Amino acid sequence: HPRPLPPMVLKRNNPHMLEARPSFTRELCIGTVTGMCATTVAYPLDTVKTRIQMGLGGGSTSMSGVMMHTLRNDGVLSFYRGLNAPLASAGFTSGIAMLARSLWTSKLKAYFGYAPHERGSYAVISASGILTGASIAPVITPSDLIKVRMQAAQEAHSSSAACLLHIMRTEGLRGLSVGFTAGLLQQVSLWSVFFAGYEALMAGMSVDGQRPGRAGQLVAGGVVGVGAWSLCMPWDIVKTKQQVDPKAFPSCVETFRGIVRNGGFLGFFRGFGTVATRAFVSNGCFFMFYEQISRLVAEHMYD
């Protein structure tokens, strides 16, 4: 009998990103590198997003206005303030997310009778995303807390580690869970459409079974990123307000009601232009990096 193809060869020869037989260690490593690359590229836009949401743009609510205000008052490096924690977190959580996605997808495909090499339905991919979001929320929430405290720059901290120690000293371990409910809802809604949407777009752009290359991966990832963030942005606003000022915004429900009361439902989409730009850049880069790194690893391991 012929030897079975290794998992990476199955993936490389398979036209669908999610159809390969899972290799959990590989997904963890590739996801880690991918997350760090995408976070570094998009982080300045994330800083602008946080400042718009918290009204820290010197009276401006536009992306360009907040960027100019930040440049004039804090300099270029301020756009990367607090990068250490989210960079480490992005690498770790992206790796864990890709690992969790592989595990949940594998379990769900087996449960619904799909073969390991089959992609599975979009419903299965979406359900896997929901479970992935719930799995990584406990890791992302503390990292986001440190990130937004550093970005808001309401207190001077020399590093992300100093900010973490300050939170633990003044608020205790419980302080690291501020905004968890909103963060959980954000991650679940985000990941529910993330991979399913990407696969649907890539399938729609395929010609004669040939999936798009780097440009198509960038566009598909960017478009699905904007769509996913449109869905989860209300929870991101709630979480950000709670994490920056937990005394003024003590609970998820009260913060949600306050936003509706003061700005209507449009209040949940304050700074959406910046969020959409960041989502397109970050998620487009994420999927492009993921696909390209996966291909390089496959070629070097089995060629």
DSSP line for 136-175: HHHHHHHHHHHHHHHHHTSS--SSHHHHHHHHHHHH-GGG
Burial of 177 by CB count in 10 Å (0-12 exposed, 13-18 middle, 19+ buried)? middle
DSSP state at residue 16? S
Q: What is the pLDDT of residue 301?
A: 65
Angstrom distances, CA of residue 194 to CA of 89, 156, 197, 223 = 19, 35, 6, 10
List the chain pLDDT tens, one digit each, 303 residues: 444 444 444 444 444 444 444 577 888 888 888 888 888 887 887 778 777 766 766 767 677 787 787 777 777 777 777 677 677 777 888 888 888 888 999 999 999 999 888 888 999 999 999 999 999 898 888 888 888 888 776 566 667 788 888 888 888 888 888 999 999 999 999 999 999 999 999 999 998 888 889 999 999 999 999 999 999 999 999 998 999 888 889 899 999 999 999 888 888 888 788 788 888 988 999 999 999 898 888 777 655
Using an 8 Å Cβ cutoff, are 188 and 133 in contact? yes
Q: What is the pLDDT of residue 12?
A: 42
Residues 6+ apart with CB under 8 A from 126: 192, 193, 195, 196
Please give the sequence-ordered ranges of beta strands (E in DSSP) within the chain, or none if there are none.
Answer: none
Residue among 221, 148, 220 at smallest CA distance from 183: 148
Residues 6+ apart with CB under 8 A from 230: 272, 276
Q: Is the dihedral of CA 194, 28, 38, 160 positive or negative?
A: positive
Q: Is the dihedral of CA 232, 192, 35, 243 positive or negative?
A: positive
DSSP state at residue 245? -
Q: End-to-end alpha-carbon separation of the chain, Å?
A: 22
Q: 207 has which bridge partners?
A: 210
Residue among 9, 39, 6, 87 at smallest CA distance from 286: 39
**Dist CA 87 CA 161 (whole Å):** 13
Using a CB cutoff of 8 Å and minimum separation of 24, what contacts does 22-28 make?
22/102, 22/103, 22/105, 22/106, 22/116, 23/102, 24/99, 24/102, 24/103, 26/294, 26/297, 27/95, 27/98, 27/99, 27/101, 27/102, 28/95, 28/96, 28/98, 28/99
- Helices 84-111 and 24-53: crossing angle in degrees, nearest 10, is 130
Q: What is the pLDDT of residue 270?
A: 80
